[in-house]
Amino acid sequence: MTKFQYYPKQKIPLWQSDKMRQLIIDRWQEISKVVEARNKSNNTSSLS
């Protein structure tokens, strides 16, 4: 079996990481809106 190698300190250009962070934030805001709307319509207890 091959071992997975993790690079926690991978060198990512600062502008790229900023762009990715903004993309992720925008995506999560969209998802949270959808989830909230779904929870309101379902009105059931959510499993966490």
Query: Is residue 48 scored above 60 in pLDDT?
Result: no
Whether this model's pTM surpasses 0.95? no
Residue that wins the pLDDT comparison between 47 and 29: 29
Residues 6+ apart with CB under 8 A from 46: 39
Read off the pLDDT band of 43 (50, 70, 90): confident
Cα–Cα distance for residue pair 37/9, rounded to 1 Å: 38
∠ CA 32-28-39, nearest 5°, is 15
Condensed to tens digits (0 to 9), the pLDDT of residues 10-26 reads 676 666 788 888 999 99
Residue with tokens 């059931």: 44
